[in-house]
Amino acid sequence: MRTGLSVRTIAALLLILLPAPLVIVIGSSFSPLAVLGFPPPGFSWRWYLEFLRTPEWLWAFGVSAGIALASAVLTTLVALGAALALQGAPARWRGWAETAILAPLLFPHAALGIGLLGWLILAGLNGTATGILAAHLILCVPFAYRPIAVSLAQIDTSLAEAATILGADPRQAFRRVTLPLLRPGIAAAMLFSFIISFDEVTVTMFLVGPETTTLPVSIYARLNDSADPVVAAISSILILLTAGLVLLMDWLVGLRIFIDVEEEGRHPAA
């Protein structure tokens, strides 16, 4: 059944409006003047060079990338462990555990920021990369868990059984059969977690310190004073990085993983 005209109109409008602000940001980053505007009055790489020449910006970029990388790897391992532990567990337990895992997603971030800040102050970790990483692990793990759980549910368990019957011990069966089949889920979990951590700002803004701050929080701090083209240039880099990772995820796994339909064993890229 085709959709009606009004549905298609609203959909088309949104599909234009959703990327529009990002296109505007990228466009205005090429301004040769110090005033922000779109369309830019000319074309120059001036503000990108300024970004590359400013140690504070580069440092914030490095901190963000480091934390995002660490949190991608760690949350994926943690989520993989949890998903395997819950595989075949009684439905009720599984339900409880999944509610607990996904809870941070449903918790107002402003309140979570304060709660975490309280503990980090007690531990003397506020304003450090370790503190921010700890917070990001809690925030990102739901995003890592979902794709792994979905792809685990899609695996035919009889394959691992077959391996066991053919003489593999459980560890071999896991390494040679289950793990390779889980690869798309693991890739999606890592990419997803990396992006969420790299872009997080609402909770992180409570946890940064004078020496350690992340790129999105520095962008926010700068925007609070003035919106100039250097922020547009840095934002454009963030946009392109995110879009690149989304395309990579589409290519590796397929975007269907986002619409998680656990019971359907369809080809994930369909």
Partner 1 sequence: MNRLLLFAPMGLLIAGFALSVLGLLWSSLIHGGAALYADLLTDPIILRVLWRTAWIAVVTTGLCAVLGYPLALFLARSPRRNLWLILVISPWLVSIVVRTFGWMVLLGNRGVINTSLRGWGIIDSPIRILFTPTAVIIGLVHVFIPFMVIAILSSLLQQDRRLEEAGRILGGTRWQTFRRVTLPLSMPGVTGGCSLVLLMAAGAIVTPLLLGGLRDRMLGTQIYSEIFQVYNFDRATAMAVLLLVLALLLVAPLRLLEARLRHRLEAG
3 binds partner 1 (CB under 8 A): yes
User: Counting contacts by CB under 8 A, is residue 33 touching partner 1?
Assistant: no
Q: How far is the CB of 27 from partner 1 (least distance, A)?
A: 9
Residue 117 — φ and ψ, nearest 5°? -60, -40
Give yes or no for residue 6 binding partner 1 (CB under 8 A): yes
What does the alpha-carbon distance between residue 253 and residue 242 come to, in Å, rounded to a whole number? 16
Complex with partner 1: residue 45 or 107, whichever CB lies closer: 107
Task: Report the nearest approach of partner 1 to the CB of residue 178 (Å).
Answer: 13
**3-class DSSP string for 106-124:** HCCHHHHHHHHHHHHHHCC
**Using rule CB under 8 A, residue 245 touches partner 1:** yes
Tokens matching residue 246 = 């989304």
Q: DSSP labels for 213-237?
A: --HHHHHHHHHHH---HHHHHHHHH
Query: In terms of CB distance, is 5 or 166 closer to partner 1?
Result: 5
Q: Could you check whether the bond before residue 39 is cis, i.e. omega within 30 degrees of 0? A: yes
Q: Which is nearer to partner 1, 117 or 252 (CB)?
A: 117
Q: In whole angstroms, how close is the CB of 118 to partner 1 at the nearest point?
A: 5
Rounded least distance, CB 12 to partner 1, Å: 8
* Closest distance to partner 1 from the beta carbon of 182 (Å): 14
Neighbours of 218 (CB within 10 A): 21
Please give the structure tokens belonging to residue 176. 């040679």
Site for partner 1 contains 37 (CB under 8 A) = yes
* Amino acid occupying residue 131: G
**Minimum CB–partner distance for residue 137 and partner 1 (Å):** 6
Distance CA 238, CA 64 (A): 11
Stretch that binds partner 1, among 51-59, 161-169, 172-180, 199-207 (CB under 8 A): 199-207
**CA–CA dist 70, 131 (Å, integer):** 13
Residue 182 touching partner 1 (CB under 8 A): no
Site track for partner 1 across 90-119, x = CB under 8 A: -------x--xx-xxxxxxxxxx-xxxxxx
The residue from 81, 95, 124, 265 that contacts partner 1 (CB under 8 A) is 81
Part of the chain binding partner 1 (CB under 8 A), chosen from 43-51, 79-87, 123-131, 176-184: 79-87
Nearer to partner 1, 6 or 158 (CB): 6
d(CA 191, CA 252): 10
Q: Which amino acid is at 263?
A: E
| Of positions 65, 73, 77, 252, contacts partner 1 by CB under 8 A | 77
Evaluated on CA atoms 32, 37, 40, 42, the torsion sign reads: negative
- Candidates 33-41, 125-133, 161-169, 182-190; binding stretch for partner 1 (CB under 8 A): 33-41
As a whole number of Å, the end-to-end CA separation of the chain is 19
Tokens 């547009």 -> residue: 232
